[in-house]
Amino acid sequence: MIYKHITQLNIHQDVIVPCRKGQLDHLSQYTTVKDPDFNGEFSTVQMLYGAEDNRVYLLGLGEEKDAVNIDDAFRKLSFDYKKYWKEPVQIITEGFSDAELRKVVIGLEMSAYNIGAFKSKKEQEGAITFEIVNSQDVTALLEESQAIGATINRIKTLVDAPANQKTPEFLGQWAQASAHDANYTCTVLHKKELEAQGFHAVLAVGQGSVNSPVVIVTQYMPKKGMAVDIGLVGKGITFDTGGLSIKPSTNLHYMKSDMGGAAVVLGVVELVAKLKLNVNVVGVVASAENAVDSNSYRPGDVINSYSGKSIEIIDTDAEGRLILADGLNYIIKEFQPKQVIDLATLTGSVVQTLGYSAAGMFTNNTEMAQNLSKIGFEINERVWPLPLFSDFDSDLHSDIADLRNFSGKPIAGATTAAKFLEAFTEEHQAWMHLDIAGVSFGDSKYAKMKSASGYGVQLMVNYIKSISEN
C-alpha cells in the first residue's frame, strides 16, 4: 500500500467518505444522489457515483462506541473492494484525530495481508495508492501508521506459517534479518550456548525434537549507558504436540500458533527500532518444538532451570511456562530491566475465563496494570486483570523438587500458570504476565480457517511509547 497526503479533493477520482451514524449532511459535496439509502451504521458500505462518474464509497463509522473499531471498518472495505482499485483512491479524513487517522491506515494496511503464502498459484495484486485528504500535514503520521500495520502483517505471517517451515532456527534467522534491516542487535543462542549458560528448562522441552531449541536476544538501546527501560519475553513453541502428555488430534494443526507471544516480542522490538523511540528495550524469545520422541522429557522427570530451581514435571503439555521461566530469569538477571512483560499463548483456562475478548493480565504492580488496561481499551486490544493470590502457592508444591509445573486441578489454570512464572522473577516489582491464548489466533472474517489476529503489537508499542514520554 502507498499513502500520500493531499489537501484538495480531485472530483474525477474515486473517494471514500466516512460517515458517522446520523451525520450525513456533508454527503451532498460528493454525490448528487439526494437519498442514498444509508445511515452510517458501523462498517456498512454504499457505493454511489459522483458528478464525474467517479465512485463514491460511503463508509459507516457507527456511533461513538464504535470508534475503537474504525480500523476494522476500513480494513473490511479495502479487503472487499481492493480488486477494483486500479487508480488512486482518496479518503476524506478532515476532522479525524491522530488516533483515528492512525487506525484508518493500520486497517488499510492490514487488508493487504495475504494468508495464502504457500499456494502454488498466487493472485498478483498491485500496490494500491491511497490519497489522504486532510488540510493538516499528516505525512509523518501516515508513515508511522503504515510501519505499524506492516509489522502486524509480518508477525501474522510468522504465526500462520506451518511448523515444518517455522522452526526455532527459522525464528532466529528472522530476528537476525530484522535486526539488520531495522538497525538493532540480535544474538541467537544455540544448543551449545544454552547448555553452557544453563537454559535447562528450554533444553528439556526441546530435547524430543529434531529441531533444536534457541533463545533469541534482541536489543534496541538508543540511550547509551543507561538502564533497560523494559524487557519483553515471548513464548516461542513452534509446534506443540503436548509431548508425551499428548494432545488430542482435534485442531492439533493449529498448534503451529503456539509461538504467538514470541511473534509479538519480535515484532515490537523491530517496530520500536523503526520508529526510533527513545527507550531502551530488550526482547528475549525462548523457542522450542514440543515433540514426541524416545528422547522427550517425561511426566515425573525432575529438571533444572536457569534460575537454579528444580522443577517436577507433572504434565509435558505445560511446557510454555518452562521455557518462559528460563527466559524471564535470564532477562532479569542479565539486563535488570525496570519493567518486565512476558506474553504467551499459555493456557486454555484463560479462554474459558475471558473468551476471545481480552488477554489475561497478571501483575501485582497497580500502575502498570492501570496504564496497560487504559491503552488496551483505547485500541481494542483489551486486557483484563486476574489474580496472583498467595492462596494458589500450594498448588505448585512438590515433595521432590522446588516446585511442580502443573497443579493437576481443573480450576484456575491460568492463575496457577502465572504463579509458576512468578517463582522465576526474582521478586521483580514491575513484572507482568499476559496470557494471550484467546486473542492471538482464532476465527476471522478474513479467512475460512482460524488465523493470526496480530494482537499485541499495537498494545505493546503504545505502552512503550507511554514509557518513553515520561
Alpha helix ranges (H) inside 27-167: 70-81, 98-110, 139-160
What is the H or E stretch that residue 422 is in? helix 413-422
C-alpha grid cell, residue 38: 444509508
Assess contact for 189 and 315: CB atoms under 8 A: no
Contacts of 169 (CB under 8 A, 6+ apart): 211, 212, 214
Mark 264-296 as b/e (b = at least 16 C-beta within 10 Å). Answer: bbbbbbbbbbbbebebbbbbbbbbbbbbeeeeb
Assess contact for 87 and 54: CB atoms under 8 A: no
Q: Could you give the CA distance from residue 419 to residue 403 in angstroms, rounded to a whole number? A: 11
Tell me, yes or no, if 247 is annotated catalytic: yes
Catalytic residue (choose from 20, 21, 82, 247): 247
Which residue matches cell numbers 478532515?
94
Tell me, yes or no, if 55 is annotated catalytic: no
Catalytic residue (choose from 156, 321, 382, 404): 321
Cα separations in angstroms, 343 against 296, 317, 400, 421, 459: 25, 18, 29, 11, 11
Cα separations in angstroms, 224 against 227, 280, 281, 330: 9, 9, 12, 21
Catalytic site residues?
247, 321
